[in-house]
Amino acid sequence: MGWMFDAMDVGLLSFVLAALAVDMHLSKGQLGWLASLNSIGMAVGAVVFGMWADRIGRKHVFIITLLLFSIASGLSALATSFAMLMVLRFFIGMGLGGELPVASTYVSERVPTHERGRVVVLLESFWALGWILAALIGYFVIPDHGWRVAMLLSAAPALYALYLRTGLEDDRPSANARAAVDPWTVRFARLWADEHRRSTVVLWVLWFTIVFSYYGMFLWLPSVMIGKGFPLIKSFGYVLLMTLAQLPGYFTAAWLIERMGRKFVLVVYLTGTAVSAWLFGQAETQHALLASGALLSFFNLGAWGALYAYSPENYPASIRASGVGTAAGVGRIGGILGPLAIPFLGAQGWSTGAIFALFAVAIAIGAVTVLALGRETKGQAA
């Protein structure tokens, strides 16, 4: 549920951006900075809360991050200026960025080895449910009631966080006793020790390329559809249909990950994402846009599921949340650059096809890195 609410807030941003452009007369550059500031907050939150989770436990940090982005989302409905929105999006991003690596680490440590990959991918599948909720709100609420009501709805997870305080078991694994006294600088240095350096390089490249392309492409989907001549309400409907394709992407990845391994799923689904991104950029007809957009959702979100299953398995428990959080933080740098790419490159004369080809190349780099340097972690003890 926490994962779903996280996705709902990120998904709502893509629909809110399109509505803000009309309501507050914001330029594409301002919208790009709004999305990127969200990612700056996610980068900070992933590193800070990831490190903190190795010290005070995953459960407590999970609840703190859920409260942070829920309350800030609700307050953003009251924003009266672009500057206020910028500040609140930063805090929303901190909560969002901190929750995801901590939640995946928490779950991966509580699942039997032979089911861990499948269960974490299924956890990630709730990202699709969150996006579907966001798309429904974007389709049914924003056109009639405005973006402020949509942001008020995104404050609902705060109530769920209060339940989690008693509904989740406490977590301070004995393996994390060392992290409780090690300062963050020592834990960071351990990520680059000989036994972990290769994994850290692979994860940093993988996270950067996936996050760069994902936030560059998906946050702008409604705006890209409008740019291709579809009205706002129709564009939201098309994005909702394309978002539904995320679920089979997750479920097939969950089925394959314990049979074929983490590397196989990552390489295949990243390659599919790269091809789909190129096809979407070249599409001009309604059917071509829907088909390529559905394939993009299918492969990209399947790759995300494998990423969250794979990342915690590269580190021992004492630095696991720190390692995943830091990799996610590096990825969020890509999330800062990705949303800025479309308005910046568009101003330089790049076509939509050329911009999406750039995203395709970035994803391909991630696939090659995993294939050449990544180690298989299937069946590895926690």
157-192 tens-digit pLDDT: 777 766 766 677 766 554 444 445 567 778 788 888
pLDDT of residue 299: 94
Lowest mean pLDDT among 21-35, 36-50, 70-84, 257-271: 21-35
Quote the tokens at residue 140: 């049914």
Residue with tokens 């893509």: 14
pLDDT of residue 91: 93
Q: Which domain holds residue 201?
A: 2-164+187-373
CA–CA distance, 255 with 265 (Å, rounded to integer): 10
CA–CA distance, 86 with 336 (Å, rounded to integer): 13
Q: Would the CA dihedral through 51, 57, 58, 61 be positive or negative?
A: negative
130 inside domain: yes
23 inside domain: yes
Q: Which residues contact 269 (CB under 8 A, 6 or more apart)?
A: 249, 253, 299, 300, 302, 303, 306
Residues present in the chain in total: 382
pTM: 0.79
Rounded mean pLDDT of 323-342?
85
pLDDT of residue 237: 66
CA–CA distance, 347 with 213 (Å, rounded to integer): 19
- Whole-number CA gyration radius for the chain: 19
Quote the tokens at residue 292: 């390529």
For 106, list phi and psi in degrees, rounded to 5.
Answer: -55, -50
What percent of the chain is predicted at pLDDT more than 90? Answer: 17
Q: Which residues contact 45 (CB under 8 A, 6 or more apart)?
A: 65, 68, 93, 94, 95, 96, 97, 98, 99
Segment holding 367, helix H or strand E: helix 352-373
Could you give the dihedral angle defined by the CA atoms of residues 92, 95, 97 and 100, in that order, rounded to the nearest 10 degrees?
-130
Count: domains in the chain: 1
231 inside domain: yes
Q: Would the CA dihedral through 345, 349, 351, 357 be positive or negative?
A: negative
CA–CA distance, 332 with 46 (Å, rounded to integer): 8
pLDDT of residue 182: 65
Confidence of residue 128 (pLDDT cuts 50, 70, 90): confident
Q: How far, CA to CA in Å, does 180 sit from each of 79, 324, 366? A: 39, 17, 33
226 inside domain: yes
Which is more confidently placed, 204 or 353?
204
Q: Are 238 and 225 in contact (CB under 8 A)?
A: yes
Query: Could you give the residue ranges of the DSSP H alpha helices within 77-231?
Result: 82-108, 116-140, 142-145, 147-153, 157-167, 184-191, 197-218, 221-227
Segment holding 335, helix H or strand E: helix 320-347
178 inside domain: no
379 inside domain: no
DSSP conformation class of 182:
S
175 inside domain: no
DSSP conformation class of 181:
T
Domain with residue 151: its CATH number is 1.20.1250.20
pLDDT of residue 303: 92
380 inside domain: no
pLDDT of residue 352: 78
Which one, of 71, 113, 87, 76, lies nearest residue 258 by Cα?
Answer: 113
